[in-house]
């Protein structure tokens, strides 16, 4: 990702669809018969990430965090209960997000339950945890318009046009570029000119 995800507020992975609030449901997760808390949900997710060899866990949600960076139990309940965990496994970044349930703690527990199921699959020897979790490899965030053009975010309209002209000359499909690259460059120019006008 071009910007590092934050623990608070929620950094939802690009391209991952959201669950409409009307389709969210109450979770039935518990620990020793007790309802989940943000702390127990974070503990469960952390333990599962460690079991598959994950490192550098970051839990991102709309719940303020403790000094250790985990969602604070007893904090104000956010309108958006979505949560995403970011970690690395075998040197690759992963992002697993869930907002199917009405609370952050249940969404954390759901992610932990998913990883636990992956570990059970791994025991059969058909696929490793890394292979099974490939769909969760974190995709880079799309570049911002000024990054595409290689200029400052507050560039003048003339600077935008000059940068666009240089970039499009190098990446035009009639030369060595592609239609996708040209479209990205044109869209960046248009977006920057809208904000500088």
Helix, strand, or coil here: 166? helix
Residues in the chain: 197
Q: Check whether residue 117 and residue 150 sit in a common domain.
A: no
CATH of the domain at 174: 1.10.287
Q: Check whether residue 101 and residue 163 sit in a common domain.
A: no
Question: What pairs with residue 98 in β-bridges?
Answer: 83
Query: Per-residue pLDDT tens for 152-172?
Result: 988 999 999 999 999 888 887
Confidence class for position 2, pLDDT limits 50, 70, 90: very low
Q: Check whether residue 70 and residue 129 sit in a common domain.
A: yes
Q: Check whether residue 116 and residue 98 sit in a common domain.
A: yes
Q: Check whether residue 78 and residue 109 sit in a common domain.
A: yes
- Domain count for the chain, please give it: 2
* Spatial separation of the C-alpha atoms in residues 143 and 110, rounded to whole Å: 31
Q: Check whether residue 106 and residue 32 sit in a common domain.
A: yes
**pTM, entire model:** 0.68
**What is the arithmetic mean of pLDDT over 100-126?**
92
Task: Report helix angle 104-122 to 38-51, nearest 10.
Answer: 20
Task: Report helix angle 179-196 to 157-171, nearest 10.
Answer: 180
Q: Check whether residue 36 and residue 130 sit in a common domain.
A: yes
Residue 3 in domain: no
Structural domain harbouring 108: 21-136
Using a pLDDT cut of 70, give the percent of the chain over it.
95
Tokens of 42: 């974070």
Residue 15 in domain: no
Q: Check whether residue 153 and residue 181 sit in a common domain.
A: yes
Q: Check whether residue 101 and residue 160 sit in a common domain.
A: no
Q: Check whether residue 168 and residue 151 sit in a common domain.
A: yes
Selected residue with higher pLDDT from 194 and 90? 90
* Spatial separation of the C-alpha atoms in residues 186 and 191, rounded to whole Å: 9
What pLDDT sits at residue 1?
39
- Classify residue 2 by burial, with Cβ atoms within 10 Å: 0-12, 13-18, 19+: exposed
Q: Check whether residue 126 and residue 151 sit in a common domain.
A: no
Q: Which helix (H) or strand (E) holds 195?
A: helix 179-196
Residue 10 in domain: no
What pLDDT sits at residue 196?
65
Selected residue with higher pLDDT from 47 and 179? 47
Query: Per-residue pLDDT tens for 114-155?
Result: 999 998 888 888 888 888 888 788 755 556 788 889 999 889
Residue 168 in domain: yes
Q: Check whether residue 84 and residue 152 sit in a common domain.
A: no
């Amino acid at each position: 990702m071009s910007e590092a995800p934050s623990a608070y507020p929620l950094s939802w992975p690009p391209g991952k669809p959201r669950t409409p609030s009307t389709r969210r449901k109450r979770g039935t997760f518990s620990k020793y018969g007790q309802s989940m808390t943000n702390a127990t949900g974070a503990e469960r997710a952390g333990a599962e990430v460690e079991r598959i060899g994950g490192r550098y866990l970051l839990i991102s949600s709309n719940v303020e965090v403790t000094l250790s960076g985990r969602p604070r139990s007893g904090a104000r309940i956010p309108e958006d209960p979505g949560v995403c965990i970011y970690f690395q496994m075998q040197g690759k970044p992963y992002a697993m997000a869930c907002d199917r349930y009405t609370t952050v703690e249940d969404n954390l527990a759901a992610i932990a339950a998913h990883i636990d199921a992956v570990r059970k699959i791994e025991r059969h020897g058909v696929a490793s945890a890394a292979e099974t979790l490939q769909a969760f490899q974190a995709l880079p965030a799309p570049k911002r318009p000024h990054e595409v053009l290689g200029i400052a975010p507050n560039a003048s309209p003339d600077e935008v046009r000059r940068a666009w002209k240089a970039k499009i000359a190098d990446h035009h499909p009639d030369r060595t570029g592609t239609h996708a690259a040209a479209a990205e460059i044109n869209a960046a120019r248009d977006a920057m000119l809208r904000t500088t006008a």
